[in-house]
Structure 1
Amino acid sequence: MSHTPVLELSDISKSYLDRQVLSGLSYSLAAGEYVAIMGDSGVGKSTLLNLIAGLDSPDGGEIKIDGKNLPVDDEAATILRRKYLGFIFQAFHVLPHLTLQQNVSLPLLLNHLPLDHALTMLAAVGLQGREQDFPHQLSGGELQRVAIARALVHRPRLILADEPTGNLDQDTSREILQLIRSEIKANQASAIIVTHSRLAAETADRILILDRHGLAPISLENRE
């Protein structure tokens, strides 16, 4: 396993208008490490994921992925996201005019990878037989599963998940969380999951709390 951290955050700050969201935040994520970030609403958890993914830019500090600075150029950042990242959005961002199979195939197509793994991933999230359905035919929980399949299908180096079980019942949440964890470990990927759910957080290797002082590890009782 490489000794270079998959992700390095150094003195990250971010403000919106006159509100400081993140200040002096530093953290290093090792290869193969899976962490959960918890914290109060509005503390900056989703903002942090967007900064790591290059969807937004910090006001100060440095972000490195595999030892390389996150590109500031939009095109270069897009190429990096396409190849190295899998992002599970809270709002799904499933494309309505594409079938489920086409949605999940997109990362494979963009990275010039075989498309057959899309069918495997749809089956893994419990949507076998629904490949030719369109998003408007699905429930919120089913759309969340499509988003998860799409984020995992190209075996990304770093997975970022924003409340990935927010629209799922408890039993489905357990299944999906186990899938996410098993895919991470099987592919030696690293992952950050932002969640309010104790159930989701307990699947991670480490749990961190984000507050105005930065990120700090915690322990939850009765972890398996």
Structure 2
Amino acid sequence: MLELRALSKTYGQHRHVLTDLSYLVKTGEFVAIMGDSGVGKSTLLNLIAGLDAPDSGQIWVDGVNMSELDDDAATALRRRSMGFVFQAFHVLPHLTLEQNIALPLLLNGKTAERATQMLDAVGLPGRGRDFPRQLSGGELQRVAIARALVHQPALILADEPTGNLDPDTAHGILNLLRSEIKNNNASAVMVTHSHAAAEFADRTLILSKEGLREA
């Protein structure tokens, strides 16, 4: 589903974040990536998503080489096949919670019915007409997770998806994430500092300056 081929990324002249990184994430596989701050975990997710470009190497998503796509084609692939959970949430303040969650469905020409189901699934039943300003950080994170999963994407990218959640809520969210991956035969890459969160993944990798290795 996701293949990284000799991926490298440098910022400025001397900050080598990723060097000659290669890895294969199989269809249906849930991978957690851990590592020290500043080693490039979030950068890696941004590269996979096509939000940033590598200096060299290739990223293949669902059999498509991302580097060969123009902006419109890359946007269409992200919209159709990917779901994102960002640390900053990126929930749109002028939309209700239900409208935020339904956005990927509408952009893909689907009905918004599943938005209500996902709101319930992340523990926010009956809150669909609320606005983001009425929510705590943890609740906003759950809205972002619901939005990432609602259109049943083939590839889920999650950057610290439980960072603002208490342990019980985090456990439920990770169970939901794993269930969606397995039920939809999707793949997922989750960046986390939490060993408890990583236990929900099929495998855990450590990212360092030397590359990726099994934990």
* TM-score > 0.5 by shorter chain: yes
Indicate yes or no: 2:176 matched with 1:179: yes
Q: Identify the match of residue 104 of structure 2 among 104, 107, 110.
A: 107
**Count of aligned pairs between the two proteins:** 213
AA in 2 matched with 1:14: K
Question: Using the alignment, how far apart are the partners of 2:161 and 2:83 within structure 1?
Answer: 12
Question: Using the alignment, how far apart are the partners of 1:81 and 1:68 within structure 2?
Answer: 12
Residue 58 of structure 2 corresponds to 62
Normalising to structure 2: TM-score of the pair?
A: 0.98
Per the TM alignment, residue 73 of structure 1 is displaced from its structure 2 partner at its CA by: 2.0
Q: Identify the match of residue 37 of structure 1 among 33, 39, 44.
A: 33
Per the TM alignment, residue 72 of structure 1 is displaced from its structure 2 partner at its CA by: 4.4
List, as ranges, runs of 4+ consecutive aligned residues in structure 1 with deviation greater than 3 Å.
none
Question: Using the alignment, how far apart are the partners of 2:133 and 2:53 within structure 1?
Answer: 33
Structure 2 unmatched ranges of 5 or more: none
Indicate yes or no: 2:12 matched with 1:25: no
AA in 1 matched with 2:47: L
CA deviations 1:17-74 (Å, max 9, x no partner) are 1200000000011000000000000000000000000000000001111221014422
CA deviations 1:160-207 (Å, max 9, x no partner) are 000000011111111111110111111110000000001110000000
AA in 2 matched with 1:93: H
Higher mean alpha-carbon deviation, 70-79 vs 191-200, is at: 70-79
Residue 156 of structure 1 corresponds to 153
Aligned to 1:10, what secondary structure does the other structure show?
strand
CA deviations 1:83-132 (Å, max 9, x no partner) are 00001001100000000000000000000112100000000001111000
AA in 2 matched with 1:46: S
Residue 115 of structure 2 corresponds to 118
Q: Identify the match of residue 6 of structure 2 among 11, 26, 30.
A: 11
Q: Identify the match of residue 138 of structure 2 among 120, 130, 141.
A: 141
Residue 76 of structure 1 corresponds to 73
AA in 2 matched with 1:200: A
Aligned to 1:207, what secondary structure does the other structure show?
strand
Structure 1 unmatched ranges of 5 or more: 1-5, 219-224
